[in-house]
A and B are shown apart, each in its own frame.
Chain A
Amino acid sequence: MKAVVTEDVLARARSGDQAAFRIIVEGYSRDVFRLAFRITGNEEDAEDAVQETFLRAYRKLEGFEARANFGTWLYRVTANTSIDVLRRRKRSDDRTAPLDDEGPSVGIAPSQEKMVYGRQVRERVESALSCLSELERGAFVLRHFEEMSLAEVSESLDTTVSATKQALFRAVRKLRKSLAPVEGSAS
Chain B
Amino acid sequence: MNHPSEEDLVLHLYGEADESDFLRKHLESCARCREELAVLRQVLAEVDELTPPERPSDYGARVWERVSKELPATKRSRPYYWLAAAAVLLAATFLAGRFTARPDPDDLVELARAGQIRERILLVALSDHLEQSQVLLLEVVNRGDDGSASPLAPLERERAAELLQASRLYRQTAYQVGEVAAADVLEELERILLDVSQGPESLEAREGLKSRIEERDMLFKLRVLGSTVKKF
Chain A positions within 8 Å of B, measured between CB atoms, are 16, 18, 21-22, 25-27, 29-30, 33-34, 37-38, 43, 46, 50-51, 54-55, 58-60, 62-63, 80, 83-84, 87-88, 91, 118, 121-122, 124-126, 128-129, 133-135, 143-144, 149-150, 157-159, 163, 165, 168-169, 172-173, 175-176, 179-181, 186-187
Complex Cα–Cα for A75 and B119 (A): 29
Return chain B residues, CB-CB under 8 Å to A34: 52
Q: Which residues of B contact A (CB under 8 A)?
A: 6-7, 10-11, 14, 16, 35, 38-44, 46-47, 49-50, 52-53, 55, 59-61, 63-64, 66-68, 70-71, 74-77, 79, 181, 184, 215-217, 220-221, 223-224, 227-228, 231-232
Nearest CB on A from B39, distance (A): 5
Within the complex, the shortest CB–CB distance from A65 to chain B, in Å, comes to 11
- In the assembled complex, which residues on chain B have CB atoms less than 8 Å from the CB atom of A157? 220, 224
**Contact between B79 and A144, CB atoms less than 8 A apart:** no
Q: Of A38, A60, A121, A149, which is within 8 A of B16 by CB?
A: A149
Q: Is the interface of B mostly helix, strand, loop or mixed?
A: helix
Whether the Cβ atoms of B217 and A51 lie closer than 8 Å is no
- State whether A121 touches B46 (Cβ < 8 A): yes
A58 CB, nearest partner CB in chain B, Å: 6
B16 touches A29 (CB 8 A): no
Report whether A27 and B60 are in contact in the complex, using a CB–CB cutoff of 8 Å: yes
